[in-house]
Structure 1
Amino acid sequence: MSAQVYPFAGSPAMSYVPQQNYDKQKMNGAAVGPIPPPATYRPPIHRQKPGCCRLFCSLLFCFFVTILALFGITILVMWLVLRPHVPSYSLQNIEFHSFNLTEQQNAYSLNSDVLYTLEASNPNKRIGIQYDEIDIYTFYAGDELGQSSIPAFYQGHRNTTILTSELKLVNATLSQSAGTILQSSIQSTTLVSLQIRVDVRARMKFGSYTSFHFWVHSICDVQFYPPTATTPASVTSKSCGHTR
Structure 2
Amino acid sequence: MPNARGPSHEPVLGSRSWMMVKTIITGLLALIVMIGVTILIIWLTIKPRTPAYFINNGSIHDYNLSKDYHLNASYNFLLKTFNPSKRMSVHYEKMELTLLFKHETIGSGVMPSWHQHKRNRTTSELDLASHNVKLSEALSRDIEMANSTNQVVVDLKMKGRIRSKLGIWKSRYYHMTVSCVNVVAEFSKSSNGSRGTICDVDL
Same fold (TM over 0.5): yes
Q: For 1:134-145, list aligned pairs within 5 A.
A: 134-145=95-106
Among candidates 52, 57, 81, match of residue 88 of structure 1: 52
Give the equivalent residue in structure 2 for 1:72: 36
> Which of 1 and 2 has higher RCO (CA within 8 Å, sep 6+)?
2
Equivalent pairs: percent with the same residue? 23
For residues 79-99 of structure 1, give each alpha carbon's deviation from its aligned partner in whole angstroms, at most 9, with x where no partner exists.
Answer: 676796311111132232322
TM-fit CA distance, 1:65: 6.8
Q: Of 140, 144, 147, which aligns to 2:108? A: 147
1:127 CA drift (Å)? 0.7
Match of 2:135 in 1: 174
Aligned residues: 177
- CA radius of gyration, larger in: 1
- Cα contact 2:92–2:160 (8 A) shared by 1: yes
Residue 176 (structure 2) pairs with residue 216 (structure 1): yes
- 5+ residue gaps, structure 2, are 1-25
Tell me what 1:241 maps to.
199
Retained in 2: the 8 A contact 1:133–1:202? Answer: no
Amino acid at match of 1:163: S
Letter of the 1:148 partner, please give it. G
Q: Structure 1 stretches of 5 or more lacking a match?
A: 1-61
- 1:218, 1:191 → 2: CA distance? 23
SS at match of 1:237: coil
CA RMSD of aligned residues (A): 3.1
Q: What's the CA shift for 1:241?
A: 2.8
Alignment partners' CA distance in 2, 1:88 and 1:141: 25
Q: What secondary structure does 1:74 align onto?
A: helix
Aligned residue in 2 for 1:196: 156
Cα distance in 2 for residues equivalent to 1:80 and 1:214: 14
- Superposition deviation, residue 112 in structure 1: 0.8
**1:28 match:** none
Decide whether the 8 Å contact of 2:48 with 2:90 is kept in 1: no
**Do the aligned residues in 2 keep the contact of 1:222 with 1:235 (CA within 8 Å)?**
no
Note if 1:232 corresponds to 2:190: yes
